[in-house]
Structure 1
Amino acid sequence: MNLTSRCLKLALDEEVDMSGLISLNPERIDHIDCSVGLYIDSKGMGYKRPVLESDIAGFIKPYTPTIWLMVAAGMVVVFACLFLILRMSRPIHGRTGPTTLDNLWTSWLWTVTAPLAQASPWWPEGDSVRVASGVWLLMALVVSQVYRCNLKAMLILPRLALPFNNVAELASSKIPTFLVNGTVLLKNVMASPEGSDLHRLQQQVISHNDIPRIPHDVIAGRYAVLASTLSLLADVHKIFAKTKTCPFYIADETLFGTTNVCLGFPEGSSLKHLVDPIVQRLKEAGILDYELMKELSHVWKCLRPDTSTHAALRPLALGDFYGVFMISAAGMMVAALVFLMELVLVKAKDQIYLPSQPPSW
């Protein structure tokens, strides 16, 4: 039995005149008298804050797959247009026309080198060729500059994707979810109607009464936690006070709306009428809110909008460059293969045209 349940039981059994803070709900309101509400609480979801990790495919993240497909389709269209224009263009007076293989190579080289910001030995000749190549140069400049800017922004100010932000996302994530034994929240989850998000969550529920262990397990990523939002904020405050870090985050959406946090009295207690005016005056004077904020002073450092970005910054690791290294290695292998093929073709051409005997004069 948790602390709130014990306080409630003592008040119900009239062993105490007044309980500690309890969260009011329909099941309790019929068996206990509650004071004027001290605070507004809700049921929240907490989990380990994700951190930046090495991403082998990080260099392709500035564009979505759709944009990459559009860029690839654009390169195919440009290659085809350049090839057709070169194939249909007449040779300049006094020059022999290029072969089909030359046109293919020229079109491919110009299509690839422009977005990579590499020089090409080919110089466009003719109005049609210059228009097509000029349009592609402009498009490639825009695509490459936007890519570089987005990649730089992602490295300087990265954004973290939180695993879930509501019950539906939590149920879809399949992350084990902790609920304290004997709580109304656990009963509501286990009694939720079939097909609801809470019903889907039942397969992930784990429960125990070792309350001090919960923050350590959540930070370690063993499970998420569903509990009172005020208790989650208190955990965030304690963790920051000890470690000066924010390894814990609370989802924006809550469960079951808001509830009043009040003091509990046995039914018919005359003490309630004496305590209510005191609580009301403290509440109207802002003293209750002031004391709460003082006890949770570190929470707001971890709940700022930019915390998920700056608190998780890290230096780049070798794993961040694996993808680029693989692309570079593949490019060098292709370049080496082309170079070897050129050497073989040159030697073969020399052997074909080299006479077996010197000519006699």
Structure 2
Amino acid sequence: MYLEQYPNRPHILVTAEELPIQQAIMVNDPTSEEGKRLSFTGPADNVMQIVARYMNLTYTYRRPADNSWGTLLSDGSWTGMMGLIIQEEVEMTPGPVLMGHVRSKVTDYSSYVFTGGFGILAARGRPKVNPWGFLLPLSPLVWAGVFTALVPVITVMLVLPSLLPQHANQPPRQETNIFNCVRVLLQEDIRTTREWWWWERVALGVWMMMILVLTQSYVSNLMSLLAVRHIDNPYQSLRDVLDDDIKIVIVENTILHHYFRVSNGGHN
């Protein structure tokens, strides 16, 4: 915003509202009919004093009737300080006013004077022991993949003996091979006195390697879960807050109040 000095020292109306760092006070003013005038303490008024001194002007504060910052209503009108500015009842406000798309369409912002951030505070879940915690290290999709992979391994054990003619005179081993696959999955040993065919060794060897990798991943993740108890984090997006059955404490007629009122989606 370009600042220009006025030679005739004009008087303007300025609007402001209270914040924890900005309080409304009444100061003595002999030029006023009541002998006092409205003023504010805090960084916003300090900025306003600098602007007034540089531009050679004087100003008087005017608070909105509803003592709010202002929000857009369904009929297109504005309340609070925004309403005073849009209706040209005052010339400006030192803020601090949050920048927003809906406000930028009807007003002009200066360069940044204050910067800050906002967050949503919510109660965190308490540490708890989940009786089904032994299932947490692996997602349902992984568990489904394990049992799905068991099917082709068992199928190979059942089908190959009938496809190899050199084994036609051998006693059936399908039942034994099926139990061996299940025993590997359950981390049990395999004992047999018969001679192993080469394809049985390959199939069981591959299955053992898969189960070894899966088991080591499961054990390490399970130890982590047992060492650090699970704590729920209920809010991952604005949509989660809107959908939750809670009471939200927020200043009415502010840009944040507007966002919560009209939002139909959330962002991480």
Q: Distance in 2 between matches of 1:158 and 1:124?
A: 48
Q: Structure 2 regions of 5+ residues with no counterpart?
A: 1-16, 27-33, 48-68, 71-79, 97-111
Give the counterpart of 2:171 among 75, 97, 114.
Answer: 97
Give the counterpart of 1:130 among 201, 206, 219.
Answer: 201
2:213 aligns with: 142
- RMSD of Structure 2 on Structure 1 (CA): 4.3
How far the C-alpha of 1:135 sits from its partner, in A, is 1.6
Higher helix share: 1
Give the counterpart of 2:125 among 50, 60, 74.
Answer: 50
How far the C-alpha of 1:8 sits from its partner, in A, is 6.2
Deviations 1:6-52 (A, max 9, x none): x76657x9654323577996754745753898853344211012233
SS at structure 1 position matched to 2:144: helix
Q: Structure 1 regions of 5+ residues with no counterpart?
A: 199-251, 254-361
Q: Distance in 1 between matches of 2:209 and 2:125?
A: 40
SS at structure 1 position matched to 2:116: strand
Deviations 1:118-163 (A, max 9, x none): 1122366111222212221222212212211222233335664521
Mapping for residues 17-32 of structure 1, pairs under 5 Å: 17-20=39-42, 28=81, 30=85, 31=90
- The answer (yes or no) to whether the contact 1:8–1:19 under 8 Å persists in 2 is yes
1:196 aligns with: 264
* TM-score (normalizing by structure 2): 0.54
The verdict on how the C-alpha distance between 1:48 and 1:135 changes in structure 2, with shifts beyond 3 A counting, is same
The verdict on how the C-alpha distance between 1:17 and 1:133 changes in structure 2, with shifts beyond 3 A counting, is closer
Is 1:171 the counterpart of 2:239? The answer is no
How far the C-alpha of 1:83 sits from its partner, in A, is 2.0
Q: Distance in 1 between matches of 2:133 and 2:209?
A: 26
Identity score, percent: 16
Is 1:115 the counterpart of 2:185? The answer is yes
Is 1:34 the counterpart of 2:109? The answer is no
How far the C-alpha of 1:81 sits from its partner, in A, is 0.9
Q: Distance in 2 between matches of 1:35 and 1:71?
A: 60
The verdict on how the C-alpha distance between 1:159 and 1:76 changes in structure 2, with shifts beyond 3 A counting, is same
Aligned length: 190
Q: Distance in 2 between matches of 1:35 and 1:46?
A: 24
The verdict on how the C-alpha distance between 1:157 and 1:39 changes in structure 2, with shifts beyond 3 A counting, is farther
- The answer (yes or no) to whether the contact 1:50–1:160 under 8 Å persists in 2 is yes
Is 1:4 the counterpart of 2:19? The answer is yes
Q: Distance in 1 between matches of 2:171 and 2:95?
A: 96
SS at structure 2 position matched to 1:17: strand
- The answer (yes or no) to whether the contact 1:91–1:97 under 8 Å persists in 2 is no
The verdict on how the C-alpha distance between 1:43 and 1:183 changes in structure 2, with shifts beyond 3 A counting, is farther
- The answer (yes or no) to whether the contact 1:82–1:133 under 8 Å persists in 2 is no
Deviations 1:198-252 (A, max 9, x none): 9xxxxxxxxxxxxxxxxxxxxxxxxxxxxxxxxxxxxxxxxxxxxxxxxxxxxx9
Q: Distance in 2 between matches of 1:160 and 1:143?
A: 25
- The answer (yes or no) to whether the contact 2:158–2:174 under 8 Å persists in 1 is yes
- The answer (yes or no) to whether the contact 2:157–2:177 under 8 Å persists in 1 is yes
1:221 aligns with: none
The verdict on how the C-alpha distance between 1:80 and 1:35 changes in structure 2, with shifts beyond 3 A counting, is closer
How far the C-alpha of 1:96 sits from its partner, in A, is 6.3
How far the C-alpha of 1:175 sits from its partner, in A, is 3.6
How far the C-alpha of 1:107 sits from its partner, in A, is 2.3
Q: Distance in 2 between matches of 1:92 and 1:188?
A: 78
Deviations 1:271-311 (A, max 9, x none): xxxxxxxxxxxxxxxxxxxxxxxxxxxxxxxxxxxxxxxxx
Q: Distance in 1 between matches of 2:165 and 2:145?
A: 32
AA matched with 1:141: L
- The answer (yes or no) to whether the contact 1:110–1:120 under 8 Å persists in 2 is yes
- The answer (yes or no) to whether the contact 2:128–2:231 under 8 Å persists in 1 is no
Is 1:156 the counterpart of 2:216? The answer is no
* TM-score (normalizing by structure 1): 0.42
- The answer (yes or no) to whether the contact 1:124–1:133 under 8 Å persists in 2 is no
Q: Distance in 1 between matches of 2:189 and 2:166?
A: 24
AA matched with 1:17: S
